[in-house]
Copies of this chain bind each other. A is one copy, B any other.
Amino acid sequence: MIKRLTTCCNSDTEHGRNYAGQSQQARDEQRRQQFLQAGLECFGRDGFRNSTVRSVCREAQLTDRYFYRAFGNLEGLLKAVYGQCMDDIKRQLGLAFQQAIPGGDIDTLARQGFTAFFNAMQDTRVARVCMLELEGVSPECDVYYHGYMRDFADMVMQLARTVHPHWPISNEESALLGMGFIGAMRQVTTYWLQQGGRASLDTLVNTGMRMMMGVIRQLEAEVKN
C-alpha cells in the first residue's frame, strides 16, 4: 500500500506542528539566529573565504540541512550577517544623530556619529565583516555592498549639507565625495584592525573629525569664491 503524500513539503510559511514546546516559526527563527551568530563568528574570525558550510554548522551546532533551508548557500548567510551588522550600525548612528539634533552644532553632531561608528567597530568580528569580507565575493555581493556604501555616503553628505544647504556641487560629485569619505573611515578601521587595535578610540574619532571638518571647510571655501 502506498503511503499518502506528506502534507508538509515546503517549510516556508507552512504550518508545522509544535516540537520541543516551540512552534515551527519559532524554531525556524531560533535556528536562523544561531546561524547568523555562527556566521558572524566564523566570517569575523576566519574570513569568508576560509569558512565553509561545515564550519558554520559546527559553530552553530546545527546540521547542514537547516542551513540550506534557511540561506541556500554561504553567500546568502554572508549577506544576511553583513546586512544585520550594517543595519545595526545605521541604527546606532541614527540614535547618535537624533540625540543631538536640537540646536547642536555640526561639530558635536559629527563627533557623536564617529564615536558611535568606531564604538561599533570595537567588535573586531563586526569590523571585519563590515569592512572587509563582502567586497569582491561576487557581483551580487558587490551590488549589495555598494548599496549600503551609497546609503552611508548620502548620510554623510546630508550631514555636511546641514551646515550650508546649498553647496555648489553636483549630485554626482556629492556622491563621490561622500564615497571617498566612507572609504576613509573604512581604511582607518582596517588599518587599525591590522595593527591589532593599537590606536585609541579617541584617536580614531579625531581622525574622522579632521576629515569631516576638512571637507566642510573646503566646501565653505568653494561657496565663498
Closest chain B residue to A50, Cβ basis: B138
A207/B173 contact (C-beta < 8 A), A185-B183, A213-B218, A214-B215 known: yes
Is the beta-carbon distance between A173 and B203 smaller than 8 angstroms? yes
Number of interface residues of A (CB under 8 A): 46
Q: Which residues of B contact A219 (CB under 8 A)?
A: 210, 214
For the complex with contacts A149-B187, A176-B192, A186-B187, 11 further pairs of A-B residues with Cβ separation under 8 Å are A47-B136, A133-B136, A177-B207, A180-B211, A181-B184, A181-B211, A183-B184, A183-B188, A211-B211, A214-B215, A214-B218
User: What residues of chain A have their CB less than 8 Å away from a CB belonging to chain B?
Assistant: 47, 49, 132-133, 135-137, 142-143, 146, 149, 172-173, 175-177, 179-188, 190-192, 194, 199, 203-204, 206-208, 210-211, 213-219, 221
